Each structure stands twice: as C-alpha cells, then as structure tokens.
Amino acid sequence: RVPVQVYPDSELASVAVARQIADLIRDRAAEGRPAVLGLATGSTPTRVYEELVRLHREEGLSFAGVVTFNLDEYFPMPPDSLQSYVRFMHEYLFDHIDIPAGSVHIPDGTVRPEDVSEYCRRYEEQIEQAGGIDLQLLGIGRTGHIGFNEPGSGAQSRTRLITLDHITRTDAASDFYGEENVPRRALTMGVGSILDARQIIMMAWGEGKAAVVKRTVEGEPTDSVPATYLQRHPAVQVVLDEAAAAELT
C-alpha cells in the first residue's frame, strides 16, 4: 500500500514536511534549477508554511529560485476578498519570503466564465513550461477531494471549473459566515494534473479525517473518492497525525 508516516501530532509532522521541502529547494538551487512546488491552502498546511517562513528568516532558506502553482481557488472570487486563496497564500507564505512575484501562480477567480476553459488550458501549459511540479502538497477534504476534485472526478481530469460538494460547502461555512455565502464553484487542478507531479505529500490531521484517510489508503481506487487515485502514484507519501491514522488497519 502507499507509504504512510504517522507522527504523534501535526506539529511534528508539519516540521518534517517543511524540512523535506527545504531539502528539495536547496538541492535544486545547488543544481541551478528552479524547484517547482504545487501548493494547497486550508487549515492543514498552515503550520508547514509557518515553518518554511522560519527557515527563511532564521536559516537563510531562499525562495528566489522557487516557482509555485496553487491547486485551486473559489469561483468567482476577487483576489482581495477575505476568503480568497490568493490572500491566504500571501498571508501565510508569500509575504514573508523572497519568492519573485512572477514565480507565483494561483488560479484566478475573476476569469470571465466564457474564458475559463482557455484559462485552465493555459494554467496547465504554464506548469509544463516550468518543467512540471517537483513536489505537490495536498490536504484532503471529508468528501475525498484533493484540490477541489469532488466525488465523480476521474483519474484523467485536468484543470477545470467544478461544482463544490455540499459537504465541502458546509465545511467552509464558518470561513464565509454562513453556508449560503460559500461559492458554489471552484477552479481546480485535476486529478490527472496532480498525478503528473514527480512527488506528492498528502497530509491529514485530526479525527475528522480518519474515515476518509482509511478509504484513501485502503479502499479501491474510484471516482467516488478521488484521493484513492493517489495509490497509483509511484512517489506518494501520506503524512498523518495519530488521530487521522486511527482507523487504518
């Protein structure tokens, strides 16, 4: 089965993941090549980003040669909105490190509906032009989504506009001061786009994720739990705290 690493708590797990990212950045810098990171938002990776900021400030880790692609963004979503993933990424990471502004890519929640498919095609093309993603960070939703690939998303799906699952909108309700304010759609990299990354780290913390983690790691690959397709990736790691690992056999 896929390699699973269980840490006593999410703090220790996050520090270990940040160290792995830092090693990749330093290796690529030594080779004179950019490190291309695929990034996630939400509560799961925040401590990883804080640790990367600390490594930048205290240990001189430079992001000058790093290129990033975020997984997803609500749609529609102005970048300066409180809930935008643009704002999230700046708050937790980009405003505190030396990454060039032009190296950051986050799906644009202001694209006109008629331009969405062309925009998504361009997003994939930019990833390809950057040399592909070296390391993709993922959280997981209770629906089994990675990125915003909700149940029904196939293994070959690419960057596109999707409809958010009811459970996902419930989980986002507090961020939006009520479920009725949560956007119904989102732009997301596809399952296929995610599986193209050379290495993937999926993280999950807390008992609320234990059931979906079990299905992801031990269930048959299926569109109804898109995260199960991670089982097909040759270099995936599932990083958990004890609570999220509790239902694994």
Whole-angstrom CA distances from 35 to 49, 58, 103, 131 are 16, 20, 11, 9
Bridge partner residues of 76 (DSSP): none
103 binds ligand F6R per the rule CB under 6 A = no
Which one of the spans 28-36, 41-49, 151-159, 237-245 is the region binding ligand F6R (CB under 6 A)? 41-49
Q: Which strand (E) or helix (H) includes residue 187?
A: strand 185-188
CB of 134 to ligand F6R, least distance (A): 18
42 binds ligand F6R per the rule CB under 6 A = yes
Bridge partner residues of 239 (DSSP): 5, 203
Give the nearer residue to ligand F6R in terms of CB position, either 34 or 42.
42
Which one of the spans 13-21, 34-42, 54-62, 216-224 is the region binding ligand F6R (CB under 6 A)? 34-42
Which of 51, 73, 124, 150 is catalytic? The answer is 150
41 binds ligand F6R per the rule CB under 6 A = yes
Give the nearer residue to ligand F6R in terms of CB position, either 63 or 205.
205
Do the Cβ atoms of 105 and 126 come closer than 8 Å? yes
Residue 102's φ and ψ, nearest 5 degrees, are -70, -10
CA distance 76 to 78: 7
Selected binder of ligand F6R within 146, 213, 225, 238 (CB under 6 A): 146
Residue 113 half-sphere exposure, CB side, CA atoms within 13 Å?
A: 3
**Which residues would be at the binding site for ligand F6R (CB under 6 A)?**
40-44, 71-72, 139-141, 145-147
Active site residues: 150
